Structure 1
């Protein structure tokens, strides 16, 4: 069993209730139902969403985390499960292995996802390092995915269209929007032309998605971070295009969050249309919200409520279905492979970890800097409040090792175990920071706020997070030696709500050496609970 709640959604009574799987038939209800935004309170930005038959697929950004380009699946547009990643490893240079530098705020972002019926193949494409566009393909969305092409052009913030004649086109660009035609196998560029120049009063357009509806071509770009526009061509994929606003400065359904923007549209088999966008909700990141779309005179219109309000709730896309609360997440690491909810900070050293009987993390790096430590394993925070607890066996650590649970971002705090002079200490440390203005290199290695002697060989570490939008949010660290009674430890950690790092806070399990390699820890359980 990869994880107790792998892809499962729980009813309101909590962890002991009946479990519903979105991978099976739609959950049925006799009463009319609504769904509530956000669809997932998790950091899943730069949405591309497609339908294949009766199944929906959702691709998102994850930048420097590996594997790249997370994929989710749904039968009803509301209940989603993680199923894999389109990019198995960030195979784009040594910095992704933390060799000769790091790749923070690099990696996979604002990419496209498509399905080609003629060869029954999924395509993912994205620009990496602002230089090349990589194409990955798979016969099923769950994988395996393989790198199938490298195009010597950056398809910045790209959207894919597979036309009625099976020709593949990509819309892309920032301010100057372009359309490229791909080769018949979808791995090379045949031609690329500028199709639209953003007017000065709009300033910037990016994040393109590409559609064909009723014979017309539509490019669906965003104006960051407060608007969505649409371009329409009645002549063909290369234009000319005219422009209209779809939404601008609309109010978020999440209190304190930004205007929903930058996402994709999708049509149900019954002909209904929906727009999945994200709303900036830092420190919890960019979280998805859904709204119905109608068409008027050949233009899409988002169904907003009075006073330009994105609805907190709408009718379920499929009558008779119900929204399930994900509830939480738990993993005993009983399988040799990690579940698709997990991502490493940069590519891992696969010789230094294992799973199957708990998660064993051997030290992979000698450093005193968590931002340079390989094999830090991360999980998205579930908002608006959630608590992560790990059971850590620290008995095989070496002198100088530090292992534990971090709340990880460009401003980081942690609770962990250090081994010093043959003994063990519990430590709470914060103030670790990356410098945006120096290519996200380390600005501070932080400082220990509290420490105490620790004995017994195992400890439960806990981080309770409030990631609602806005400043003043905190994480509270605590620990237990029996798994029942927890004691607060260290200072409340103030979270950063700044956006330039893009990715949100994550619960992270780490183990690194400050003196020499050879030590290890075992995590026998990881659990996220919600109030």
Structure 2
């Protein structure tokens, strides 16, 4: 009996000691990853969503929670306010995040619209973040190195990879030099110094990662070897792992966090161990020639800590939004508030979801999930439209439309963008249901299957009591094309078609696996 118990305990420990890829089934692309003491941080791109450049935190590389945003406001022009103009697919692309121990400062930097590079600094990942004067040079797809002597360098570029030395405060350029010429497209630089050698990781989109190594200094010369090249993905029907960065644990183990193209869900992170050979070249640990679906958990002291998961209920406790939330473009801050519920005033007069300000979004947890909102519609005025959307360049929604004293629940499909991201179809009402007279509170649900190996579909339901849900409209098929870059999101929207003045109150946002 004792032997059986011991065997069972060993089997249980073995099962617990494995993590599954993807480590986080959410759209978090263009990864930069680092460790400060025993805490890991993860930064991602966000394009036109605000606040931008989310930072996630973990103590074990497997369990992550949202901890802040490096860019509080996208203040690079009026189009980011979605006030008669739009900045879809502009904004924050691949950028860097690093920590400078000598000044106890986090640095974020990114090139905006391939023009200037903006640097933001903060004493902690949750801020306050300070925006500095831009560097009049585009550090495209940049990675930041803070060397042993505290000098700061940025590796950047597309195919022609350059290195810039920054000023003592890290806010301006001292010099710049091209250090490598690729024979094919390479970008997505991440910059490291390990055991006296300099490394620049670069990606060949969309299927490979390469390592540039120099034994002489940050300006090279560099030689190149592949890290992973067209290896199979741990998720069926997705692309090869690529881009991202490497990071060490406190005990000296190394890992590579890459992403895979997993549309319609977006670009999703996967993690694998890394070893270095005698010459200093890193190698990813593969399983039967491909990226493993599972690996042993990273060895960290104290074990995994409890983190806030994206699955679950948000009741908007307190007076600010949690870090999981991002607006579609900058919000009109005079038209919303948080006070143990989300209060939305109509911020735009429009009949176009893509032109409506203050659409509040969350990434859709994969492979399939459903989001339910509880919404008080008693403050809506004539012509108002409020609800929840499955939001991308091809969108659909369920919502309430107010017409005089009456209201109906409508499912709208076929909301689409043209190739320049302007709206080319505002959608059509597919189905509707009358709201019973006197009803103030409704439950609206959006269901999304974003598994690339499935049909990739969404649907909608509503309820007047929170218990019994009724389907509304047809099942929609998600767009799997990559050009929009970002994956589908849940989006809470409210806009006026006649005049501003109405209000809705969202008291709950509940995400469940589907």
Q: TM-score range by the shorter chain?
A: over 0.9
1:302 to 268, 284, 289: 284
Alignment partner, residue 55 of structure 1: 39
Instruction: Work out the CA distance in 2 between the residues paired with 1:463 and 1:144.
Output: 34
Task: Please report how far the alpha carbon of residue 108 of structure 1 lies from its aligned counterpart in structure 2 after TM superposition.
Answer: 1.0
Task: Please report how far the alpha carbon of residue 421 of structure 1 lies from its aligned counterpart in structure 2 after TM superposition.
Answer: 3.1
Instruction: Work out the CA distance in 2 between the residues paired with 1:120 and 1:323.
Output: 24
Task: Please report how far the alpha carbon of residue 321 of structure 1 lies from its aligned counterpart in structure 2 after TM superposition.
Answer: 3.8
Alignment partner, residue 91 of structure 2: 107
Task: Check conservation: 2:28, 2:45, Cα contact below 8 A.
Answer: yes
Alignment partner, residue 84 of structure 1: 68
Instruction: Work out the CA distance in 2 between the residues paired with 1:99 and 1:470.
Output: 38
Alignment partner, residue 226 of structure 2: 245
Q: 3-state DSSP class of the match of 1:209?
A: strand
1:283 to 249, 261, 264: 264
Alignment partner, residue 21 of structure 2: 37
**Change in 2 beyond 3 A, CA 1:109/1:400:** same
Equivalences for residues 335-484 of structure 1 within 5 A: 335-436=318-419, 439-455=420-436, 456-470=439-453, 472-484=455-467
Instruction: Work out the CA distance in 2 between the residues paired with 1:415 and 1:282.
Output: 22
5+ residue gaps, structure 1? 1-27
The reply to whether residue 273 of structure 1 matches residue 257 of structure 2 is no
Task: Check conservation: 2:364, 2:488, Cα contact below 8 A.
Answer: yes
- 1:371-408 alpha-carbon deviations (Å, 9 max, x no partner): 00000000110000101000111111111110001010
Alignment partner, residue 150 of structure 1: 134
Equivalences for residues 10-29 of structure 1 within 5 A: none
Alignment partner, residue 203 of structure 2: 222
Task: Check conservation: 1:316, 1:322, Cα contact below 8 A.
Answer: no
- 1:72-118 alpha-carbon deviations (Å, 9 max, x no partner): 00111111110110000101100000134101001112100011111
Q: Which runs of at least 4 in structure 1 moved beyond 2 Å after TM superposition?
A: 28-32, 319-327
Which has the higher mean CA deviation after the structures are superposed, 63-72 or 421-430?
Answer: 421-430
Alignment partner, residue 171 of structure 2: 187
Instruction: Work out the CA distance in 1 between the residues paired with 2:206 and 2:100.
Output: 31
CA RMSD of aligned residues (A): 1.6
2:489 to 492, 506, 526: 506
Task: Please report how far the alpha carbon of residue 328 of structure 1 lies from its aligned counterpart in structure 2 after TM superposition.
Answer: 1.2
**Matched length:** 498
Instruction: Work out the CA distance in 2 between the residues paired with 1:73 and 1:510.
Output: 29
Alignment partner, residue 170 of structure 1: 154
Instruction: Work out the CA distance in 2 between the residues paired with 1:415 and 1:106.
Output: 27
Task: Check conservation: 1:327, 1:530, Cα contact below 8 A.
Answer: no
Task: Please report how far the alpha carbon of residue 299 of structure 1 lies from its aligned counterpart in structure 2 after TM superposition.
Answer: 0.4
Q: 3-state DSSP class of the match of 1:149?
A: coil
Alignment partner, residue 137 of structure 1: 121
Alignment partner, residue 504 of structure 2: 521
Task: Check conservation: 2:83, 2:357, Cα contact below 8 A.
Answer: no
The two structures have a TM-score, normalised by structure 1, of 0.92
Task: Check conservation: 1:470, 1:497, Cα contact below 8 A.
Answer: no
Task: Check conservation: 1:471, 1:495, Cα contact below 8 A.
Answer: no
Q: 3-state DSSP class of the match of 1:96?
A: helix
Instruction: Work out the CA distance in 2 between the residues paired with 1:364 and 1:329.
Output: 28
Task: Please report how far the alpha carbon of residue 229 of structure 1 lies from its aligned counterpart in structure 2 after TM superposition.
Answer: 0.2
5+ residue gaps, structure 2? 1-11
Task: Please report how far the alpha carbon of residue 329 of structure 1 lies from its aligned counterpart in structure 2 after TM superposition.
Answer: 2.5
